[in-house]
């Protein structure tokens, strides 16, 4: 209903200017969706803040506005008679024929009323970002699926999106890993796939243990870092082997979750680190403090009351994560050929990195790297907790591996499906069972995460996320399956698709119409606020409204003149659920 809201806001603003010529320019109708159905579709609250400057009662102001609205044919063609409520709220109800026309238009529109933007500047979404030589764990789940969902929404809106995987593929830990590799598995340098990731994770722990315990190993590892950074061919080959094997294992997870990413690791930005230092020095931002080159932050102090520094170059001349992140920002906003030309850059990382990014973002802005219309945004998220409210761990106390978590979700979904098939006396082939179990299991994991406000921690529960009732993926998937069942029973879902005016009379029909027409506004909210849970909440509420409609209104009654209109509502509901779930990275099913 975004298009209607925009037209209504323009009409309200014009009416206010005609009714209140003594008021200053820039009148705000304060148009919002009505909080309850009995208040109509929208509520305009703009009369209340005008009471004091105009020295008039807000109801008096609201009455003057309504009189002007009623004199505007464009308004009366759109809305029923406005109602003034309380101290001066104006309740507005859209004419039923206009709502029906909007629904008819969406039936013939594959975008379901969501306009496409025209934007040549790419949006960068930086997400997932695991570290080489480590397995992806449950902590990577949130960044990966939140980032993917936001990228999908932005792409659907028409933005060119760079989905960047800023993997940890550089740094001092590689000196340790390469030294260990040369000493314990030298054949890996000559034989492809001599070390697989399972070995590599244990391999990383062994290398770290040696680094912590053995001073000579520490020294050799630090020398190896210098060799790597200096381009030593053997060190580079060892580094490449470690990266390649990790990359293949990461891709298995991404393929399973249907995640598309372009890898651009920390190593990509190495050639640009010196340029970061030069730019900051030219801008007069660099300060030498205890031998390190830093930028002191404005408005951010430590416990001693002194400004906190962002260290850009260490005392020994080396660089750190902050330098790499600054180089990435500089490149992403920079112009081609050495830049992405982005105008919006989004980082999806855990909330624990908020201070780091706040500091880096401030330095980038003060350095002048952001274009005038540039947006630099951190999308933080909380922890995944167990049902005990503590950080999710295995029984042995280890971090939960992501592949193990996904395996268990599919196994539980399969066990639940087999149990239901047995109870219902249904027989299905193995291919069907495996397809449904995989779809439901992975959808349940994704949706359980995305349906939470990302800023907060959430408690991981297989029982809750796989439930067929409540705000869960299985509940939404079942709504789509239910509509597919209508088609199997002989309901032509193409009926009424723009061929004739919709015939709607029942309150459940109008409730479904109004819910369906909210989709475009929800997508606009997610695009702006980067909160996927808003889309989840909408899809859940749509499913609830549809189920009430289906339970209370006969859809397949052959002699009912409203049959084709009701089938059209079913079709639009299915299309909206499929598109909405697709933007969350969740495929749907015809049967389950």
| Strand ranges for 338-447 from DSSP E | 344-350, 375-381, 384-385
Alpha-carbon 113 to chain mean position: 21
**CATH code for the domain of 41:** 3.30.1360.70
Q: Identify the pLDDT of residue 491.
A: 65
Hey, is 338 helix, strand or coil? coil
Please determine, for residue 499, whether its predicted confidence score (pLDDT) is greater than 70. Answer: no
Read off the pLDDT of residues 162-209 as tens digits, 9 standing for 90 and up. Answer: 999 999 998 888 999 999 989 988 888 877 666 665 677 788 889 999
Domain end call among 65, 94, 123? 94
Q: CB of 533 within 8 A of CB of 451?
A: yes
Residue 379 lies in a domain: no
Q: What is the mean predicted confidence (pLDDT) over 570-581?
A: 97
Residue 520 lies in a domain: yes
Q: Identify the pLDDT of residue 198.
A: 65
CA distance linking residue 499 with residue 263, whole number of Å? 48
Which residues have a Cβ under 8 Å from the Cβ of 177 and sit 6 or more positions away?
133, 203, 204, 207, 238, 242
The helix (run of H) or strand (run of E) holding residue 299 is strand 292-301
Q: Identify the pLDDT of residue 563.
A: 85
Structural tokens at position 484: 């597919």
Please determine, for residue 98, whether its predicted confidence score (pLDDT) is greater than 90. Answer: yes
Please determine, for residue 498, whether its predicted confidence score (pLDDT) is greater than 70. Answer: no
- The model's confidence at residue 362, banded by pLDDT at 50, 70 and 90, is very high
Read off the pLDDT of residues 413-447 as tens digits, 9 standing for 90 and up. Answer: 999 999 999 999 988 999 999 999 999 999 999 99
Please determine, for residue 410, whether its predicted confidence score (pLDDT) is greater than 90. Answer: yes
Q: What is the mean predicted confidence (pLDDT) over 23-40?
A: 83
The tally of domains found in the chain comes to: 3
Q: CB of 473 within 8 A of CB of 465?
A: yes
Residue 263 lies in a domain: no
- The model's confidence at residue 100, banded by pLDDT at 50, 70 and 90, is very high
Q: What is the mean predicted confidence (pLDDT) over 437-460?
A: 95
CA distance linking residue 225 with residue 231, whole number of Å? 10
Query: Using CA atoms in the order 398, 404, 405, 411, what is the torsion angle rounded to 10 degrees?
Result: -140
Residue 541 lies in a domain: yes
Query: Using CA atoms in the order 177, 178, 181, 184, what is the torsion angle rounded to 10 degrees?
Result: -90
CA distance linking residue 370 with residue 342, whole number of Å? 9
- The model's confidence at residue 37, banded by pLDDT at 50, 70 and 90, is confident
Find the domain containing 487 and state its range.
Answer: 442-583
CA distance linking residue 292 with residue 312, whole number of Å? 8
Residue 144 lies in a domain: no
CA distance linking residue 25 with residue 570, whole number of Å? 45
Domain end call among 258, 283, 317? 258
Q: What is the mean predicted confidence (pLDDT) over 391-410?
A: 84
Please determine, for residue 500, whether its predicted confidence score (pLDDT) is greater than 80. Answer: no
CA distance linking residue 570 with residue 502, whole number of Å? 13
Structural tokens at position 84: 């003034």
Please determine, for residue 518, whether its predicted confidence score (pLDDT) is greater than 90. Answer: yes
Domain end call among 39, 68, 94? 94
Beta strands 161-165 and 292-301, pairing class: unpaired
Please determine, for residue 145, whether its predicted confidence score (pLDDT) is greater than 90. Answer: yes
Quick one: 467 and 566 in the same domain? yes
- The model's confidence at residue 492, banded by pLDDT at 50, 70 and 90, is low
Residue whose entry in the numeric block shows the structure tokens 């299915």: 574
**CATH code for the domain of 558:** 1.10.730.10
Read off the pLDDT of residues 328-350 as tens digits, 9 standing for 90 and up. Answer: 999 999 998 889 999 999 999 99
Residue 135 lies in a domain: no
Among 86, 72, 67, 54, which Cα is nearest to 8's?
72
DSSP structure class, residue 123: E
Quick one: 89 and 187 in the same domain? no
**Which of 15-19, 41-45, 390-394 shows the lowest per-residue confidence on average (mean pLDDT)?**
390-394
Q: CB of 312 within 8 A of CB of 293?
A: yes
- The model's confidence at residue 25, banded by pLDDT at 50, 70 and 90, is low
Residue 330 lies in a domain: no
- The model's confidence at residue 400, banded by pLDDT at 50, 70 and 90, is confident
Burial of 50 (0-12, 13-18, 19+ CB in 10 A): buried
């Amino acid at each position: 209903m975004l298009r209607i809201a925009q037209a209504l806001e323009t009409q309200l603003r014009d009416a206010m200017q005609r009714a209140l010529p003594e008021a200053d320019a820039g009148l705000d109708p304060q148009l919002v969706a009505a909080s309850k159905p009995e208040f109509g579709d929208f509520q305009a609250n703009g009369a209340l803040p005008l009471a004091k400057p105009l020295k008039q009662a807000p109801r008096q102001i609201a009455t003057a506005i309504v009189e002007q609205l009623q004199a505007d044919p464009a308004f009366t063609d759109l809305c029923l008679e406005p109602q003034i409520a309380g101290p001066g709220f104006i309740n507005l109800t859209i004419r039923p024929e206009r709502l029906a026309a909007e629904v008819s238009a969406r039936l013939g529109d594959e975008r379901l009323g969501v306009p496409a933007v025209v934007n040549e500047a790419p949006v960068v979404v930086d997400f997932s970002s695991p570290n080489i030589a480590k397995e992806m764990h449950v902590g990577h789940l949130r960044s990966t699926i939140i980032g993917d969902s936001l990228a999908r929404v932005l792409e659907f809106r028409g933005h060119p999106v760079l989905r960047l995987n800023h993997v940890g593929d550089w740094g001092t830990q590689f000196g340790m890993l390469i030294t260990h590799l040369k000493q314990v598995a030298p054949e890996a340098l000559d034989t492809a796939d001599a070390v697989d990731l399972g070995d590599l994770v244990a391999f990383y722990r062994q290398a770290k243990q040696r680094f912590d315990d053995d001073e000579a190993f520490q020294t050799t590892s630090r020398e190896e870092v210098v060799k790597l950074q200096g381009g030593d061919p053997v060190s580079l080959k060892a580094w490449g082997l470690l990266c390649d094997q990790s990359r293949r294992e990461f891709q298995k997870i991404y393929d399973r979750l249907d995640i598309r990413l372009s890898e651009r690791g920390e190593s990509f930005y190495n050639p640009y680190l010196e340029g970061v230092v030069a730019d900051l020095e030219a801008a007069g931002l660099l300060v030498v403090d205890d031998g390190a080159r830093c930028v002191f932050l404005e408005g951010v102090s430590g416990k001693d009351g002194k400004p906190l520094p962002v260290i850009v170059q260490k005392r020994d001349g080396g660089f750190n994560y902050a330098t790499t992140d600054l180089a990435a920002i500089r490149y992403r906003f920079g112009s081609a050929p050495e830049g992405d030309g982005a105008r919006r850059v989004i980082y999806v990382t855990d909330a624990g990195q908020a201070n780091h990014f706040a500091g880096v973002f401030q330095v980038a802005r003060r350095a002048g790297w952001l274009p005038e219309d540039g947006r630099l945004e951190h999308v933080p998220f909380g922890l995944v907790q167990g049902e005990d409210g503590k950080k999710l761990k295995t029984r042995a106390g280890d971090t939960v591996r992501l592949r193990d978590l996904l395996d268990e979700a599919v196994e539980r979904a399969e066990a639940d499906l087999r149990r239901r098939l047995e109870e219902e006396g249904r027989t299905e082939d193995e291919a069907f069972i495996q397809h449904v179990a995989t779809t439901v299991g992975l959808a349940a994991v994704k949706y359980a995460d995305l349906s939470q406000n990302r800023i907060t921690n959430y408690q991981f529960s297989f029982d809750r996320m796989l439930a067929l009732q409540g705000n869960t993926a299985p509940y939404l998937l079942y709504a789509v399956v239910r509509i597919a069942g209508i088609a199997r029973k002989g309901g032509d879902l193409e009926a009424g698709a723009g061929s004739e005016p919709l015939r709607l009379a029942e309150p459940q029909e109008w409730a479904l119409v109004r819910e369906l027409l909210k989709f475009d506004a929800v997508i606009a909210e997610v695009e702006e606020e980067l909160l996927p849970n808003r889309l989840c909440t909408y899809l859940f509420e749509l499913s609830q409204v549809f189920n009430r409609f289906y339970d209370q209104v006969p859809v397949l009654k052959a002699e009912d003149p409203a049959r084709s209109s009701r089938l059209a509502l079913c079709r639009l509901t299915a299309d909206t659920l499929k598109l909405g779930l697709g933007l969350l990275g969740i495929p749907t099913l015809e049967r389950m």
